[in-house]
Every structure is written in structure tokens, then in C-alpha cells.
Chain A
Amino acid sequence: MLKRILSRQETLVGVTLLALCLTIGFINPVFWTPGNWFDLARSATVTGIFAIGVLVVLISGGIDVSFTAIAVFAMYTTTVIMNNIGFGGGMFAFFLMSAGIGVVLGLINAFFIARFRLPTLIVTLGTQSLFRGFLLFVIGSKIIRDLPPGMAEYSGAFLFTVTDSRGITVGLHSAVLFLVGVAILAQIILRYTMLGRSIYALGGSREAAERAGFNIAHTQVFIYAFVGLLAGLAGMIYGGLNRQANAQDIVGQELDVIAATVLGGASITGGRGSVIGTLLGVTLVTVLSNSLILMGIPSIWQRVVIGAIIIIGTAVPAIRALRAGRRANVEIEPVLAEQRS
């Protein structure tokens, strides 16, 4: 039992994260200040919500690269609409509308994937361009800094603030509650509902899932609508925190999010992954990129370091699986094929 826990990717990532924190904290004590941690939480929120969506898709054996396009589309469109109608209410309505737009766009993905059984990568590559193109050419491409009041005030919505020894006031932003809520929701769905188990089943063996009587189309509709919902939500949070609506933003981050999810133990071939692992993966990547600044490493090197961590982090479990496979007499063939070539 202990051995099984120790050999899990989640444990590996957790331990690495801990070691990293201790090292960075040793080099630069600023790391352990509340200000830095509030900052980390703020940076991890949007990535974390995206990553939970990605996790669900990966478990089902699919992949979605359109969620960033959905996010920016939903956020920007919501801002434009709210500005046009002169909406003066609070941020809640923005989230509702943005998430709603996200669900609709997610359903477009689901339609092509479930109805025509097209490969998920192809569909979402296509819709990514489609959503983004539509946004830039039809809805608008200018950066909106003149925001509706509810959205403009959101960046100041702290849960609480503290004033440190140097007299600087820092706060934990309330957006982090969304991440917590989404994580708990995803955990409950994945672990304790038949819907969640059907996602694992689909990722494990589509054929077996069909034979068992799972309605695969329904499961897929849920998956892509859920990703759309999370994307719409995260997009709105992103816009609110940055106090602007930029139609050129967010798209381009999708591979980083997918990488963080895979780092957290989600299998790119489907069937495996956990919420806790995903959160750890996201935290690791966030701590790493924020701290490289703290340690004074130039930003070009950050990409290199993060890339290296992702490669190592995903290669280790793969190598271990191969070794374990040899011992347990599974997949002798691939090993053989390798040795022959």
C-alpha cells in the first residue's frame, strides 16, 4: 500500500514541489511572505480552472485545445455586450453570461465529436481558429480598458488583506474560491458519480464502454460543455483580474495548461488522472515560473526551465511504467520491438 502511494505521480510532484519551495525560500526569503503566496494563488487560479477542464477531457481519452479560444471569446463578448447595454450590476452577472457563452461553444465541440465521431484534436484545433477568428473579425479586436463598473471593481475584491512589516498591504483575491469550488465539484463528479466513472471508462476502453451500455455521446456532450463552462468562467476571471478585455489574450496558453495537467499525472492516452494531481502540477509550474523571477533568472530562461521540468516530470512515470511492465510480464512486445531496432 505504502509502495503504491510512493510510486504515484502525485506523490512525485508533491515532493518535488516541496523541495522546490524549500530551495527557493532558502535563496530568497521573500518567497515565504504572504504577499508572494497571495500572488501565486492569483496566478494559479485561472490556470487551475483551465487545467481541471483539461483533466476531464484527458481522462476521457480526448484532448481539447480550443478552451483558450472559448475563454477569450466568452470574456470579450460578455464585456462588449455589458458595455453596450450599459449594465451597472455586479460581477456575478458577468460570470453567468461568460460561462453560458462558454457552454454554447463547448457544445459546438461536442456536436462534432459525439455526432460525427471526429478525432477530438482535429475538431478542437478547428474550433480554436473558428472561435478566435469570429471574435477578432466580427466582435472586435481592440483592447477594452473602459470596463463596466462591476468588472472594473472586481480586481479589488479581496477575501482579506494583511499589512506586512514594511507597511505594504497585500490581499488574497476572492477568485481563488472559484478554483477551490471547481476542484471540489470536479472531484465529486469524477469520483462519486456514474457520469464521472463513465469518463474513466471511456478513456480506458471505448469499445468496452459501448458494450457495457454507456451512452458515449451523452458523456462527451457533458465533457465538452463542462470544459466550455470552465473556460468561460476562467476567461472572465482573467479579464477581471487584469482590468481589461483583450481579444488577443489567453490563446497560446493551452499547451502550458495541458503540460501542467500531464505533469500532475493525467495520461495523455486517457483513463488516468486526478484532481489533486492536477492541482499539484499547476502549483508546481506556477511556483516555478514566479520564482524564477524571484531568483533573478532572465525570462527567456524560464521557458527553458519549465520545458525541462515538464519533460522530466512526464518521462519519469513513463520509464517507470516500462520497467514495471517488464517485471509484470505485460507489454513484452514493445520492449522487444525496441531492442530489435
Chain B
Amino acid sequence: MTGRASLPAPQHLMADAFLTLNHISKSFAGVQALDDVSLVVKPGEAHCLVGENGSGKSTLIKIIAGVVTPDSGDIVINGRSFQRLYPMDAIREGIQVIYQDFSLFPNLTVAENIALNYQLSRNVRVVRWGQVHQIAQTALDKIGVRLPLDVEVESISVADKQLVAICRALVQNARLIIMDEATTALTEKEIRALFRVIRNVQQEGVAVLFVSHKLNEVLEIADKVMIIRNGRVVVDTDVASLDRSKLTYYMTGRQIEEADYDYRPTNEQPLLEVRHLSSRGNFEDISFALRPGEILGITGLLGSGRTELALSLFGVLPVDSGEILIDGQPAHVRDIQSAIHHGIGYVPEDRLTEGLFLDQSISRNIVIRTIDTLTRPGGLLSISQVNRQVRYWVEQLSIKTHDPELPAKSLSGGNQQRVVLAKWLASKPRILILNGPTVGVDVGSKMELHEIIKNLAREGIGILVISDDIPELLHLCNRILLMRRGRVAGVFDRPEITEAELTARLTEATSMARPAG
């Protein structure tokens, strides 16, 4: 790998570079998203871009892709300088982006989503459907996943959408692959496969620009790391000179040390008890109890049934047999309404497409779940109460915006996630199901979110956390349930299991789930 070699002389560096950004600045309506950022990416090099939510990572990527025009600075690709870079220029120069929001066509099939951009950039005028399928199948085979080709992307799961976005980029013979948090919806197994592919293409001289809030991924894949804070570069260095705590420090400007959840066991009646719950094809014979103040983690790979279980508890997916007890009483959670009636709240997995009205303002998005508690007698909305609630949550979750009346789509990805979380936390459920609560949230804020979740639990709420993030589960939960192929494969009390053990149990599930070879 050329990338690990020591730094060459500056002139060489310029000649060698695939991509050079010089003094890029960009502001949106008064918000300085990027301030004098320079970046050099060489062939075969894996460059990681890290920074807090809203620090400007996605903006920088969109500038490289020709989607956003910088206010100042210049872009040199392959030695060619671009006054104004258009998306097609970037693509023709070999730049492929996996966008944070996937940027797929919901109305087109999986096959066409993968093949369309490829054919477009090759000036194909006549579409041969056999070829479309072939291109798509080749791409899927590359990372070893199986997806139905003729299904509309709209109807597939988040993880599958992300896989489609990845395949679409891999199918092009890219010279630079940019991944803006491309692993958020994936579990160990797919991430391993993706990283294998990345290493392979790197050997062939393809450069990678990688954005992730999962620092272990960053440390694993990077040759070089660039850290930005509030749109400015703070550090741009070899990965060898960094470790987890230094990374965190440079990103946030402070040391972060998270304490585990100090759960004190009680013998109170369980808020929620599940007995032998089954839903054919989804999960089977699941039993557990959730007492007030408990934070129960649920983990497992894609297809382990964890999301389906959550959906059943929220009344979305029907169950075939088994019982759900709430406060010791058998409860019929037939639909979402009865789930809400029983005090259950659910933060969905695919928050960017499921949980937000992107064109509506941030404040409207926050209050939508609690709108009926904010009305004055007569049914009119109390503006002051709305504002108070919005201000409270913007502050609590440090949502980075200078005006909550702006549309939600003006927020960075991580900040959009917080808005969804705010909306559900504001509704004060008694049982809260969080599906990947901190996906796409930066390390610093993650700890703050964990603190908020722990405080909710301390107030006596029962919380279910579905997550792949093992350190997160260990910090947050007092008990962890491991699911595999729809069944409970193990229950661990937190002090009795270590990070290494839990990871091992999960990977064990990987090797079992994957067919031989």
C-alpha cells in the first residue's frame, strides 16, 4: 500500500495528487460551513474526514462532487483546474460519492438504481434491460450481498438502501470513492465485506475519502486523518500519530470519559413483559422483562429480527403467538394507536426518511408529537409554549441551528437525527424503544445523548435500545439481549460481559449466518 509510505516532498505531492482542494470556503445564509479548507488526496490513499455534527464534512464532499459551488478556493482534479465543477465533470474524472442520505431514486428498481448512473456517465442513449440487470448483479456480487433486483427501492429496508447506494458507487471504475457515513445502517458482516472491497480497490490505486463517526472504523481504514471543527481544519495527519482519545479530543476540544449506567436493580413489577412472542418469518419465542429504570439493549446482525421485534411491540407488525404484558396486565398492541395508548414510544431506524418532514421547520418537527398538549382551551396553539418546548430541546440535544424556523433539511445529517429524537423524547412515553439512537451522531454528542437516556431511565422509564454499537450498549445498558436468526441467542448482565466477549458472540453469529465459502 502506497498510502502508508512516509510523506514525499511537496512538489512530488502536488504532481502525484489525484485531488487537490485549495483554500475552500463556503457559507450558507450567514453560517460559515467551511472556512479555508485545503485537502490533498493521492491515489491509493485512504483519507478519513472526522468532525462533530455540522462541522462541514458533507458540505466539503458536495463541493468535491460538484453539487455545491464553493464561495472561494479552487479544485484541481487529475491536474485539471476547475473554475466551476459540475456533477458530471466530477463523475467523469472518476469521483464517486455515497451520500449520507443515499440519494437514490425511490421510484426505480434496485437494478436500475445501481446501473443508471453508470450508463449515464458512459453516454448510453438506449437502455437495454438485460444489461441493467447484469451491471447490478455484478455490483452486488462484488460485496457478496443478495438483493431482489426488480423491487422498487422505496420498499426496501434502510440497510438495503445503503447497500444499493454502495453498489452504485462501486460499479463505476472510480478513482476516488467518497463515503459519507456509508456504514450507518450496516452491521458487522456487511461492514467487513465493504472494507474488504475497499482494500482491494485501494491496491489498484483507487483513493478513498471516508467519513464516519465510528472511530474504530476510522482508525482501521485510514492512512491519513483530517479533523475539522466548525468548518476549519484542526489537524491533517497520518493515522499513526493518532489514537481514539486524541481523535476525540481534536474533534470536540475536550476529553470525553463516559461512565457506565449506574443501574440499581429493583423488584418492582415489570413495565413490559414479553412471553414466547413469535411472528412467523421474523422472530420466534422471545421472552424478556423490562422493569422501571432498566435500559435493555438488543443487538444482532441484519436479519436477526431485532427491528421486527421492536415493530411488533409498537403494533406495526402483527404477532402470531405469545403474550405482551404491560404493568402485569395482558395488552393487545394491535396497532400504533394502541401502542401509544399503552405509553410506548418508538424512534424508528430509518429516521431520515421515516421520521422527519424535511421541508417543514425544525420547530414544527419537534412539536408534532405533542401538539395536543400545547393547545390552549379552544384548540388554538400556544405559540409561547411551542417556543419554550422547542428551545428546551434544541438546547438539551445541542441541535446546531441558528434558527429553529429553518426547514429541517438545512441541518446536517447528525442534527436531523437529533430532531427526531427530540420529537419522541418530548412525548414522554413510559416505555421507550430506541432503534439505533446515536447512529450518525458524533462522539461528543453521543455521550450527551447517553446521559439524557440514562436520566430518563432514572426517572423510572423503561428503555429498549437496539444498537450494533457495542461500546454504546455497554455504557448504556444494564442488560443486553443478543438475537440471532429471530431467536434469543444470549442474555448478558452488563458488568459480567466485556466488549471483547460481546463482539466475539456477535461475530460468532456472523460466521454462522454466512454460508460456507
| A-to-B contact residues, CB < 8 Å | 191-198, 200-201, 203-205, 207-215, 270-272, 326-333, 335-337, 339-341
In the bound complex, CA of A330 to CA of B353 (Å): 8
In the bound complex, CA of A10 to CA of B112 (Å): 22
In the bound complex, CA of A43 to CA of B117 (Å): 41
Closest to B168 in A: A212
Most buried by A among B88, B103, B355: B103
- Give the contacts of B44-86 with A (CB-CB under 8 A): 65, 67, 86
| B-to-A contact residues, CB < 8 Å | 65, 67, 86-88, 91, 97, 99, 103-108, 112, 116-117, 119-121, 124-128, 154-155, 157, 307, 311, 316-317, 336-337, 340, 348, 353-357, 368-369, 371-372
Contact across chains for A192 and B127 when beta carbons are under 8 A apart: yes
Contact across chains for A193 and B117 when beta carbons are under 8 A apart: no
Measured between beta carbons, the chain A residues less than 8 angstroms from B127 are 191-194, 196-197
Measured between beta carbons, the chain A residues less than 8 angstroms from B155 are 328, 330
Measured between beta carbons, the chain B residues less than 8 angstroms from A332 are 316, 336, 348, 354
Contact across chains for B112 and A211 when beta carbons are under 8 A apart: no
Contact across chains for A204 and B120 when beta carbons are under 8 A apart: no
Most buried by B among A197, A215, A339: A197
Q: How near does chain B come to A206, taking the closest CB pair, in angstroms?
A: 10
Contact across chains for A271 and B372 when beta carbons are under 8 A apart: no
Contact across chains for A330 and B88 when beta carbons are under 8 A apart: no
In the bound complex, CA of A37 to CA of B116 (Å): 42
In the bound complex, CA of A192 to CA of B355 (Å): 36
Q: Which one, B108, B117, B356, contacts A213 given CB within 8 A? A: B117
Contact across chains for B337 and A339 when beta carbons are under 8 A apart: yes
Measured between beta carbons, the chain B residues less than 8 angstroms from A272 are 107
Contact across chains for B65 and A211 when beta carbons are under 8 A apart: yes
Most buried by B among A191, A205, A208, A270: A208
Q: How near does chain A come to B306, taking the closest CB pair, in angstroms?
A: 13
Q: Which one, B103, B107, B355, contacts A333 given CB within 8 A? A: B355
Measured between beta carbons, the chain A residues less than 8 angstroms from B99 are 211
Contact across chains for A330 and B154 when beta carbons are under 8 A apart: yes
Across chains A and B, the number of contacting residue pairs, with CB separation under 8 Å, is 103
Closest to A202 in B: B105
Q: How near does chain A come to B410, taking the closest CB pair, in angstroms?
A: 14
Measured between beta carbons, the chain A residues less than 8 angstroms from B372 are 340
Q: In the complex where A211-B67, A213-B91 touch, is A337 in contact with B368 (Cβ < 8 A)?
A: yes
In the bound complex, CA of A197 to CA of B311 (Å): 35
Contact across chains for A208 and B104 when beta carbons are under 8 A apart: yes
In the bound complex, CA of A207 to CA of B121 (Å): 17
In the bound complex, CA of A193 to CA of B127 (Å): 5
Q: Which one, A191, A204, A213, A335, contacts B105 given CB within 8 A? A: A204
Q: Which 9 A-B pairs have the closest CB atoms?
A: A271-B107, A213-B88, A204-B105, A204-B107, A208-B103, A213-B87, A212-B117, A339-B337, A213-B91
Q: How near does chain B come to A318, taking the closest CB pair, in angstroms?
A: 15
Measured between beta carbons, the chain B residues less than 8 angstroms from A326 are 316
Measured between beta carbons, the chain B residues less than 8 angstroms from A208 are 103-105
Closest to A326 in B: B316
Contact across chains for B316 and A329 when beta carbons are under 8 A apart: yes
Q: In the complex where A211-B87, A213-B88, A329-B316 touch, is A205 in contact with B126 (Cβ < 8 A)?
A: no
Q: How near does chain B come to A293, taking the closest CB pair, in angstroms?
A: 39
Q: How near does chain B come to A247, taking the closest CB pair, in angstroms?
A: 40
In the bound complex, CA of A60 to CA of B505 (Å): 49
Contact across chains for B354 and A333 when beta carbons are under 8 A apart: yes
In the bound complex, CA of A201 to CA of B124 (Å): 15
Measured between beta carbons, the chain B residues less than 8 angstroms from A339 are 336-337, 340
Q: How near does chain B come to A168, taking the closest CB pair, in angstroms?
A: 48
A-B contact pairs, 9 of them (CB 8 A): A193-B125, A194-B127, A201-B105, A209-B105, A212-B91, A329-B311, A331-B354, A332-B316, A336-B369
Most buried by A among B108, B119, B124: B108
Closest to B308 in A: A329
Contact across chains for B87 and A197 when beta carbons are under 8 A apart: no
Q: In the complex where A197-B116, A211-B87 touch, is A204 in contact with B65 (Cβ < 8 A)?
A: no
Q: Which one, A192, A331, A341, contacts B126 given CB within 8 A? A: A192
Q: How near does chain B come to A60, taking the closest CB pair, in angstroms?
A: 11
Contact across chains for B120 and A194 when beta carbons are under 8 A apart: yes
Q: In the complex where A200-B107, A205-B104 touch, is A333 in contact with B357 (Cβ < 8 A)?
A: yes
Closest to B123 in A: A194
Measured between beta carbons, the chain A residues less than 8 angstroms from B154 are 330
Q: How near does chain A come to B420, taking the closest CB pair, in angstroms?
A: 9
Q: How near does chain A come to B341, taking the closest CB pair, in angstroms?
A: 10
Measured between beta carbons, the chain A residues less than 8 angstroms from B368 are 337
